[in-house]
A and B are shown apart, each in its own frame.
Chain A
Amino acid sequence: MDMNIIATRSQMGMSLIFHIIFSVLGVGLPLLLCLAEGLALWHKDGTWMALSHQWTKAFAILFAIGAVSGSIVEFELTLLWPIWARDAGSIIGLPFALEGFAFFLEGIFLGLYLYGAKRLTPTIHWLCSLPIVLSGTFSAWFVTTANSWMNSPTGFQFINGKLASVDPIAAMLNPSTPFETTHMILACYVSTGFGAAAVYAAGWLHGKHDDYHKKGMLLGMTVGTIAIPLQIISGDFNARFLERAQPAKYAAMEGLIRSGRGKPLYIGGIVDVPANKVIGAFQIPHGESLISHFNFNSYSRGLDAFPASFRPPNAQVIMVHLAFDLMVFSGLFMLLIGFLFCFLYLTRKRAVPTYPWLMWGTVIAGISGFLAVEFGWLVTEEGRQPWIIYGMMRVADAANPAPWMGVSFFVFLAVYLVLGTTLVVLLLTLAHRPKPPTRWSDLIVDERQTFEIQRVGPR
């Protein structure tokens, strides 16, 4: 690959690695807010309310930065991939426009939610969180349909080398859409749930032993533990679908080089396609055949079933296989921690379990939720190589041929470093600020009397 394409891919990849975190939180945090505030109103419990306030403050910053990083991605779709944009725009541009509306709605109701506390009754204020949850979820759905389309393009025909019968709605409802969108939306709830629990587990390990931290952990864990088994099931559906729809990607995920019957399952390891080896992998004999077709001696297609120019190159195969296994491992780890937490909670007369080993486990589960999102995204993008639109257009043919791509990459790298660092510092200061009051009566009074927007008074 020439340097220009490497720079272009790196810039896009970096932007998505950064933006996906905010997208996930933008979908997941509203659900936590909504649940916490609902519980607060239901039980008249100040701690739940304080949690929902704290999350709202964090969400306000994350949303603003997510809007910025989202703008970068929208620009880059055409700036970095103009040839892709020229050919794909009329087919799959629509979901981005729809996402624009969903995002704007989310922003409007977030505005109401953030600054309307003084002007709305508590129930109406709580109801304002519902459109935020809904529009966030729809945003995720729209954008993921576009990615699904790149994996299984439909909604158009080529007649004599020209586009015909273009139908964006049919393109959005391509075969991958039900699998990918479910997996992505559940991923948002899983990572936000475990992520929130991890924040409070870390606080607990720092000696902050109070009801506030317990409840934060409990709610995050509950959301995560409900979502993670569903997510694992959805992942299984995805993998089975991929074996039919994108067999080369599937072979790369499984590290399967040669086709054949009764293939072993490779766990971990570095795939070496030319040498026909998966170095350092843990092997389960007949595992691959068993897991994919429930038959010890079933036939599995390996990478050799595809010409070299139609499947990911070796470097990508190494990445895809490892990323896939790490994603699965992270998922199973979260499942374990979630179940342990819930089991202990239910058997210990509903007391939040706070053993140090479990707290450490929760912190790691929180981190692995976000890592799993990044790994999953790596699998779907790197596994599709060398295609940008599967079977239709190659990445190398889609990139902006303009020079200066390398410069652009380093400039944006610097931008992300500055934004990321400032944001982390800001969130940490937010966490260290004095907490809002947790007594219900103080909270109600405080809420409506001291919340004054900065303005210029008369002389």
Chain B
Amino acid sequence: MILNYIVAILLWLSVIIYAVFGGADFGAGIWELFTFGPHGRDQRNLITSALGPVWEANNVWLIYLIVGLFVAFPIVSYTLACALFIPLSLALLGVVFRGASFAFHSHIRENIRLRLFWARSFSIASTITPFLLGTVAGAVASDQITLHNGIPPLIVWWPWLNPFSLTIGFMALGICATIAASYLVVNAITVGRDDLAEDFRQRTLAAGTTTAILGIICFALMPFFARVLWDGLFIRTYAIWGVIITIVLGISAAITMYNRRYKTARFLIDMDVTAFFGTWGLAQIPYIIPPQLTVNDASSPPTTLLEFLISAILGMLLLIPSLWLLFYIFHSRSPLPPIHEKEVEGV
């Protein structure tokens, strides 16, 4: 059914958007743990100014994914909630502490120690959450979650704590760190700090290389833990070109970053993450949770999917102009409106 796949792709897109934008946020939190040396203080300020000013806006993509699975693929929600209750609850705690720490940290002014406590809590939550979400992704990608008579297993450990899923967890950390560092390079250039840009350029390269090495380890573990994925990639080979694109994009990103073409590098890194997730999704078709649940089996009735899709389109029609307005107003170089005599008089 085509509708099932359209909705699945829509939700997969929110995974990708969350990985890119949410990943940048997580990564910024991770780098806050590594701000030291002569530029430590400036690095911290750069990170603070790079984060969204109001609240954890990028979390909406995660929430949309959770709600979208609940609407369109309720059996997936059911299976994941039963089997992966522990890592999902822990990831939720991470999300909660990140959001709360961020809000508290930016509003507490008087009490320095309390402020530092929440800053530290923010960094730790930023590190733990993507790792846990990575292991959950690993558990889904590996073919370890099996249903018996339609009933999922209750609280399983091995699917998310096996070497493959743990490697994916560390890879998630690597991806977040790489994206964030590449954003911070560009931000540093914008405010005229070449020295900070250089710091984060080296960090982008280091984090990117680490992620690539972890990717190779993943491939090595795949035949043992994720047969479905391995088959999709290398036996039936219909997703192999995704792997090639991901590798080419990764190498180009590294080269451009090395040559200090920062904006191009940042763009390529985002594209690389997109290609990475796209390849994963493609490789596990037709399964939504390998090795049993397929996209078609897990789908809600077509009316629900259609209404969900229409709601998404209408929602986007409202969201996109609003987001555009937000960015237009904050990124336009227009100065503040001048103070008119008229406004001030009258008191």
Using a CB–CB distance below 8 Å, which chain A residues touch chain B? Answer: 44, 46, 60-61, 63-65, 67-68, 70-72, 74-75, 77-80, 82-83, 85-91, 93-94, 96-98, 100-101, 103-105, 107-112, 114-116, 118-122, 131, 163-169, 400-404, 408, 411, 415, 419, 422-423, 426, 429-430, 439-441, 444-445, 448, 453-459
Interface contacts beyond A90-B74, A93-B304: sample of 8 additional A-B pairs, CB < 8 Å, sorted by A = A85-B78, A87-B74, A97-B311, A98-B311, A98-B315, A100-B60, A101-B319, A441-B345
Q: Can you list 19 A-B contacts with CB-CB less than 8 angstroms, sorted by A residue number?
A: A60-B55, A61-B107, A63-B54, A68-B95, A71-B99, A75-B92, A77-B70, A78-B69, A90-B300, A94-B308, A97-B64, A97-B67, A104-B60, A107-B54, A108-B326, A111-B52, A401-B154, A415-B97, A456-B42
Query: Which 7 A/B pairs are nearest by Cβ-Cβ distance?
Result: A89-B74, A93-B71, A90-B300, A64-B103, A101-B315, A86-B78, A82-B81
Q: Are A121 and B337 in contact (CB under 8 A)?
A: yes
* Interchain nearest-CB distance for A49 vs B (Å): 11
Given A98-B315, A458-B192, residue A64 in contact with residue B60 (CB < 8 A): no
Alpha-carbon distance A415/B323, docked complex (angstroms): 32
Interface segment out of the listed B82-90, B255-263, B279-287: B82-90
Q: Are B346 and A64 in contact (CB under 8 A)?
A: no
Contact of A97 among B42, B53, B100, B312 (CB under 8 A): B312
Q: Are A404 and B56 in contact (CB under 8 A)?
A: no
Q: Are B59 and A67 in contact (CB under 8 A)?
A: yes
Q: Are A100 and B67 in contact (CB under 8 A)?
A: yes
Q: Which residues of A contact B344 (CB under 8 A)?
A: 440-441, 444-445
Q: Which residues of B contact A441 (CB under 8 A)?
A: 344-345, 347
Contact of B155 among A98, A115, A404, A411 (CB under 8 A): A404
Q: Are A455 and B82 in contact (CB under 8 A)?
A: no
Q: Are B191 and A455 in contact (CB under 8 A)?
A: yes
* Interchain nearest-CB distance for A376 vs B (Å): 25
Give residues 170-228 of B contacting A (CB, 8 Å). 188, 191-193, 195-196
* Interchain nearest-CB distance for A8 vs B (Å): 11
* Interchain nearest-CB distance for B342 vs A (Å): 10
Contact of B63 among A74, A419, A444, A457 (CB under 8 A): A74
Q: Are A400 and B71 in contact (CB under 8 A)?
A: no
Interface segment out of the listed B16-24, B28-36, B43-51, B266-274: B43-51
- Closest B residue to A458 by beta carbon equals B192
Q: Which residues of A contact B57 (CB under 8 A)?
A: 104, 107-108, 111
Q: Are B49 and A166 in contact (CB under 8 A)?
A: no
B66 at the interface (CB under 8 A from A): yes
Alpha-carbon distance A87/B301, docked complex (angstroms): 12
Q: Are A85 and B81 in contact (CB under 8 A)?
A: yes
Interface segment out of the listed B133-141, B240-248, B328-336: B328-336
Which label, helix, strand, loop or mixed, suits the secondary structure of the B interface? helix
Alpha-carbon distance A68/B96, docked complex (angstroms): 5
Contact of B49 among A80, A448, A456 (CB under 8 A): A456
Q: Are A79 and B71 in contact (CB under 8 A)?
A: no
Q: Are A85 and B96 in contact (CB under 8 A)?
A: no
B102 at the interface (CB under 8 A from A): yes
* Interchain nearest-CB distance for A138 vs B (Å): 11
B237 at the interface (CB under 8 A from A): no
Q: Are B99 and A426 in contact (CB under 8 A)?
A: no
Alpha-carbon distance A71/B97, docked complex (angstroms): 11
Q: Are B343 and A122 in contact (CB under 8 A)?
A: yes
Alpha-carbon distance A60/B54, docked complex (angstroms): 7
Q: Are A108 and B319 in contact (CB under 8 A)?
A: yes
* Interchain nearest-CB distance for B81 vs A (Å): 4
